[in-house]
Structure 1
């Protein structure tokens, strides 16, 4: 169990805090009798080294935690450090250490509580149990039934109550109900209805007196908003799973922080801080005697390359990074000939076919794979292919993403991918499960001439009205390289599948490189 809220070691930077302008609170602060800040992270995905020029990384995150806590302490606020799940899966740190690196960094970060995300189950109950034994904070999931899994009994809680002076703060964890389809929890675990589980946990917490209820939710923004509108008694939702950046005035934000929803009996404040450790959130709360929020404020901190790295955390990450060189050198498969990335932005290429085939094979029921050629950053050698070679091809940490989309909107997405053909645009679509013909000399928006979908041993024309299940990468699914129909026209979508490099490495191990080559999927007039 975590220590009492205000007895945690305060990391103060008085000079820094004094120079920062504190955001105004929303509401009537004079009525508040408790002052609390929730510092929050979600969907870190083992990105301990960060993401190239985009920033992030555990050492910079440590500086971010310190900065936001200093701001809160300077305003005489208690602090909770919260994680909304999906620490696992997404880099070689997790592949090599199976959660030990994440546990070490989280302990150093003084996390109070974490919801279990779907990717915490990627290694089955055994890996999660080993991780749980290493952490000193509460792991929460109210809708996880572990009664048939001895390894997890006593390690996962529905909720935890922490004290902030005389105030009680009830933290309730929720895990997406689709975890059995999106991860590998095994046959002994059951995921129950999240709303019912939340209502039971809230009732149990308030049976012992007034409390502020904070849901640590790994359900995604849309389910969080629906839950907030339907379940009484929720004060705050700290969310994850959908990788949504809720922030005021920051590039890429999809809504304000907090996003407000009218619940059955109170206003619910929802926050979420993007993904991959590139942002940290601070939600300031002023609490009434009954635990209700009477005012709020805060901000979202971009964890950019301009933030200095915390030296203690940097040393910790470096120690876990030592074995990764050998892992990168591990041979995953062989290919009879080199697969260069030269020319992939202009035409069909063997490397593009390899990656698209790997994506399509990894998602049962998917009919089409589309991936941007700009994401293929290097070629593969002839002969032995190492994991490091694969990471050179796919360095961005993207995951598999799936969506259901009408044929006409899929056609529009392909047309966008062809729009910068003469400029070697990165959006040029490499595909599997389909073939298309285009005219590179035609005006932008009118280049796609024909699209056919594989059916058995042949092809059939794309039906603009029919819905198709498409697999792509998370960058394209969220509109990257102009693929906005994948973002705006998806009938349903899921962005957080397996890391793309793992999928391609597995395909190469199964002989995929030996079968790769141009075969007429893409032709032009």
Structure 2
């Protein structure tokens, strides 16, 4: 099938058939919520209550409850679904696992959800507990779970939901490489998404269902391939790549993105938006109109007070985690910006070493951390999780990708390009060494780049780990945006650092000359 993208003229052409259609459905959707029960800042991280009161925050469960209620009030036929990855991302998940997510999703009245890769972060047991706690079906079509007794009778490939007298077929989809991204265990095998979806479409249509929605935690690119290479799919609700679709800034495509007659939608991540697609089907189940947008949950959306109170109550035990002793440090770990933004520093080495240690067995050669992400030092003695979170408060995740040696050198040049301004882009590194001359012209300051003890090769491809902020172009690292094999949704950087400290306790802070000034 030839891939086509629906433009304005096509929308009008489709809409012209509405008079003959007999079924309108509003699909409300979220994806990649990642335990953001509290409001988030404009940088997708924790937002202080005083900032929230000042109208500077987004999302949070209390706003989401209001937005869903208002959207339902505007539609007499709404379906609420989630594209996966409710798990992982804040202390709420660390403490409650899937329990609070289940409570909130039940409160909001979700109709179905697909399994995201992070739903497997703590293995089948935690996922099963979540499945048992929710009051709606959890779907996953492209996995053989018959050998995993915890899941075999708990997760369906597809389901049928009746809305206003019509049957809607829902199919779940999970990343094919989930076994590399999470911890599903040896008894779960993931398969090709196209074949899996087509198999369920054929099953559903055989049962007389002609309106089919795929809940796909597989990424925007895979969603387009599924739409192009299958028949019978009407709507794909996406997830996994945190894709924003629409006509707003930072959107990467239209909402919906049309591939043939299949409408693809996605609503970014972290509860910042509530997606709303209004779709009309004709008597044969063909999509004749599909339009809508992700609705921004900003200060204009009033927080539901009962939900806000409940999240506040749930937050109280998190202080126990913040006070948890995770390791000891033999000496103070220097992380002050006046040190780390001008050269190699102890905190930079700790964080970069921790990043590289976590993923080195995945073919990763070097780590790059932006010094602006290091917000404090740590005193000698006991190290608490609260201290680690003070150093790394942004809920950044590990990102792995591949670039050439030339690109790595360009990244280092960017990192030292504004050193005179104490810029947060200064690079802390592991697995590599370099020299810089702060007196030289920006773009020509870096020399003697070594990787694994050998000079960098301009045309050689290297595996890199950084954080999702840097990988997506933050702090001027735009050269990483188009990196190959990028995956931005690894574990939280604070968790990785805390675990590395624990493994090396008592930790000995150090510098070793990996960054030198000419």
Which one of the candidate residues 263, 279, 286 is aligned to 1:285? 279
**Partner Cα separation in structure 1 for residue 70 and residue 26 of structure 2:** 13
In structure 2, how many angstroms separate the alpha carbons of the residues matched to 1:228 and 1:313? 37
1:507 aligned residue:
500
Residues 405-438 of structure 1: CA deviation (Å, up to 9, x unaligned): 1111121122222222111111111110001111
Matches of 1:408 and 1:64 in 2, distance apart? 47
Residues 294-373 of structure 1 aligned to structure 2 (within 5 Å): 294-342=288-336, 343-363=339-359, 364=361, 365-373=363-371
Q: Secondary structure of the equivalent of 2:84?
A: coil
Separation (CA, whole Å) in 2 of partners of 1:379 and 1:66: 45
Partner Cα distance (1:129, 1:297) in 2: 36
* Maintained 8 Å contact 1:404/1:493: yes
SS in 1 for 2:278: strand
Point out where structure 2 has 5 or more consecutive residues left out of the alignment.
1-10, 41-46, 48-55
CA deviation map 1:473-524 (0-9, x unaligned) = 0111111111111112x12111111111110110010126723322111112
| Residues 1:32 and 2:21 are matched in the alignment | yes
1:282-303: CA deviation from partner (whole Å, max 9, x where unpaired): 0110111111110111111122
What is residue 253 of structure 1 aligned with on the other side? Answer: 251
Cα deviation code 1:185-236 (max 9, x no counterpart): 1111111221111011000110121421111001111111111111111111
Cα separation, partners in 2 of 1:445 and 1:88, compared to 1, 3 Å: same
In 1, distance between residues paired with 2:13 and 2:171?
Answer: 25
In the alignment, which residue of structure 1 is the partner of 2:182? Answer: 183
Distance in 2 (alpha carbons) for counterparts of 1:517 and 1:320:
39
Q: Deviations over 1:349-389 (max 9, x none)?
A: 10011000000000022110011111112222211111111
Q: In structure 1, what is the equivalent of residue 43 of structure 2?
A: none
The CA distance in 1 between the partners of 2:380 and 2:63, in whole Å, is 38
SS of the residue corresponding to residue 151 of structure 1 reads coil
Task: Indicate conservation of the 8 Å contact 1:118/1:182, yes or no.
Answer: yes
Per-residue CA deviations over 1:447-469 (Å, capped at 9, x if unaligned) read 22231112xxxx11111101111
Superposition map of 1:73-472 within 5 A: 73=75, 77-249=76-248, 251-262=249-260, 267-342=261-336, 343-363=339-359, 364=361, 365-454=363-452, 459-472=453-466
- Whether the 8 Å CA contact 1:108–1:313 is kept in 2: the answer is no
The separation in 1 between residues aligned to 2:329 and 2:485, in whole angstroms, is 36
Tell me: CA distance 1:281–1:293, structure 2 relative to 1, closer, same or farther (3 Å).
same
Asked if structure 2 preserves the Cα contact closer than 8 Å seen for 1:46 and 1:93, the reply is: yes
Q: Equivalent residue for 1:9?
A: none
**Is the Cα contact below 8 Å between 1:415 and 1:446 reproduced in 2?**
yes
Matches of 2:303 and 2:381, distance apart in 1: 39
Distance in 2, matches of 1:25 and 1:112, equals 31
Task: Report the CA distance between 1:63 and its aligned residue.
Answer: 2.2
The aligned residue for residue 59 of structure 2 is: 56
**Following TM superposition, by how much is the alpha carbon of 1:470 offset from its aligned partner in structure 2, in angstroms?**
0.4
CA contact (8 A) 2:158 2:172 kept: yes
From 60, 63, 67, the equivalent of 2:70 is 67
Q: Does 1:493 align with 2:491?
A: no
SS state at 2:154 partner: coil
What secondary structure, in the 3-state scheme, does the structure 2 residue paired with 1:514 have?
coil
Partner secondary structure for residue 313 of structure 1: helix
Q: Distance in 1 between matches of 2:512 and 2:63?
A: 46
Distance 2:342 2:299 in 1: 33
Superposed counterparts of 1:16-27, under 5 Å: 27=15
Label 1:501 to 1:441 Cα distance change in 2 as closer, same or farther (>3 A). Answer: same
Contact 1:221 1:244 in 2 (8 A): yes
Give distance in 2, aligned partners of 1:389 and 1:405: 33
The answer to whether the Cα contact below 8 Å between 1:64 and 1:303 also exists between their aligned partners in 2 is: yes
Q: Distance in 2 between matches of 1:239 and 1:186?
A: 25
Does structure 2 conserve the Cα–Cα contact (< 8 Å) formed by 1:339 and 1:351? yes
Structure 1 runs not aligned, ≥5 long: 1-22
Mapped contact 2:169–2:209 kept (Cα < 8 A): no
Write the distance in 2 (CA, Å) between the matches of 1:503 and 1:185. Answer: 20
